[in-house]
A = this chain, B = another copy of it.
Amino acid sequence: MSHNSFGHLFRVTTWGESHGPALGCVVDGCPPGLPISADMIQHWLDKRRPGGSRFVTQRQEPDQVEILSGVFEDERTDGLVTTGTPISLMIRNVDQRSKDYGEIRDKYRPGHADYVYDMKYGVRDYRGGGRSSARETAARVAAGAVARLVLPGMTIRGTMVQMGPHKIDRSRWDWAAVDENPFFCPDPVAAKEWEDYLDGIRKAGSSVGAVLEVVAEGVPAGLGSPIYAKLDQEIASALMSINAVKGVEIGEGFGAAELTGEENADEMRLGPNGHPVFLSNKAGGILGGISTGEPIVARFAIKPTSSILTLRQSVSATGEEVDLRTKGRHDPCVGIRAVPVGEAMIACVIADQFLRHRGQTGRPGPVDYPLHRG
C-alpha cells in the first residue's frame, strides 16, 4: 500500500502537517557506503525554501534538516556514510502562525482539499492545509537529495518553461540562466518579462499556473519495466503526486498526438564509437517504459495557487453558503517552489528503478558503490 510512501527498493515515507511540531521522511533502501551529510541535503532544501524572494510565500522557515538514523562515521574520511538502514530525516516547523487559519476552520476554501478531507475522514487539521500543505514537499526534496547520492554521474535539473500563458523561447535555452532568476527559467529574456507579469499578479492578490520541465541526463539505457512499472509511468505517478499538478507529459507529450509515425519515431544510427545513437529524442528518453540512454524529459502543469484575496463563493462544514477570501501568506505562483520538488521526485524514481534493474536482471548498472569494507 502506498498512502504515504512511494518507491520499492528505494522507498520514501513522508509524514507531517503544516502546523504540527515537525515534518520528515524515512528513506528506506539507500545502499550502504555512500558519503552523506546534513549539508548535502540542506543544499537542496535551501533551493526550495520559502522566503527566498518576493514571489514566494513570506513564511520564514529555516527548514533545517536533522539526520536521525541510517548513517555512521567513516573512519577513513571522518565524514558520515550510509549504512543501508533507514535514513530518518526531520525538519522542525518554526514559523507557524496558526491564528491566521481560525477563520477558515469550518469554511471550505475553493480549490483546496478542505471539503474532500471532511468527506473522507470526517476530521481535518485545517491549519495551513494540514497534511495537504505544500510544506510536505520539503520532505520530498530531502529524500531526493539522498536519491542523488545513489545516482552519481547523472544530472537532474528542473526548470520553469511556462508561466501563465507565457512560454519560453526554446531557442534561447541556457542552463546557466536557470539559477540566475527567481523562476528557474532557462530563457533569460522570458524570466525578465515574467518578473513584471508576476508582480502584477501578486499585487492583485491573484495567482497563476505554470509548466515545469525536468531533464535527467546520464541515465543509462535499460531502466524501467515493460508493463506496470514503466519508467514513464512511475514518473507520471511521482509528478502527479505533487500538490497542484494537473498534467504530466514525456518527450513530445500531448504534441505527439498531432504527429505522424514518420515524424514521431526517433531513428537510430551508429555513433562515433560504434554504439547505437538516436537521431532525435521525441520519445523523451523512454520507449516501451524503459530508458533509451537519451535524456529523460518530463513536463508537468501546476494549477494557480488556490489561495487568493478575491472573495469567492463557498459553503461551510455546518451547511451554510459563505463568501470567503483566503488571507495569510501565500505564493502568487506556487509552481516556482515546485521545481526542486519535481527534480527530487524524478531522482527518487530513477534511484528506485536503478536498484530494481540490478535485482531484476543481474546486470550491474552504471554505478559501483564505494563500499566501506571488503
- Closest-by-CB residue of B relative to A260 is B206
Task: Determine if A343 is an interface residue (Cβ-Cβ < 8 Å).
Answer: no
The one of B16, B267, B367 in contact with A362, judged by C-beta atoms closer than 8 angstroms, is B367
With A and B bound together, what is the CA distance between A69 and B90 in angstroms? 12
CB pair A26–B32 under 8 Å, yes or no, is no
Q: Give the residues from 218 to 248 in chain A that come closer than 8 angstroms, CB to CB, to chain B.
A: 221-230, 232-237, 239-241, 243, 245-248
Using known A-B contacts A131-B83, A256-B303, A260-B201, determine if residue A248 contacts B236 with beta carbons closer than 8 Å: yes
Knowing that A164-B259, A246-B284, A279-B313 touch, tell me 6 more A-B residue pairs with CB under 8 angstroms.
A3-B229, A4-B228, A164-B257, A247-B250, A261-B308, A358-B358
- Taking A108-B276, A257-B302 as contacts, is the C-beta distance between A122 and B230 under 8 angstroms? no
- The answer to whether A131 and B227 have CB atoms under 8 Å apart is yes
Question: Quick one: CB contact mask for A89-131 with B, threshold 8 Å, 1 for yes?
Answer: 0100000000000000000101111011111111111000011
Given the known A-B contacts A122-B372, A226-B85, A226-B117, are A257 and B301 also in contact in the complex, defined by CB atoms under 8 Å? yes
In the bound assembly, the distance between CA atoms of A132 and B119 in angstroms comes to 38
The 10 closest A-B pairs by CB, nearest first: A113-B288, A111-B265, A359-B359, A247-B249, A123-B372, A207-B261, A209-B257, A116-B290, A122-B371, A237-B237
Contact B258 A164, beta carbon cutoff 8 Å: yes
A interface size (C-beta, 8 A): 163
Determine whether the beta carbon of B268 is less than 8 Å from that of A315: yes
* A277 to B, closest residue via Cβ: B315
Is A5 among interface residues, defined by CB-CB distance under 8 A?
A: yes
Query: Is A342 positioned at the interface, with any CB of B under 8 Å from its CB?
Result: no
Bound CA–CA A20/B70 (angstroms): 9
Cβ of A120 and Cβ of B361 under 8 Å apart? yes
B residues less than 8 Å from A360 (CB atoms): 3, 9, 29, 31, 84, 355, 359
Q: How far is the CA of A303 from the CA of B255 in the complex (A)?
A: 9
Looking at the assembled complex, report how far the CB atom of A42 sits from the nearest CB atom of chain B, in whole angstroms.
Answer: 17
Task: Give which listed residue, B13, B116, B315, contacts A292 with CB less than 8 A.
Answer: B116
Contact B246 A111 (CB under 8 A): no
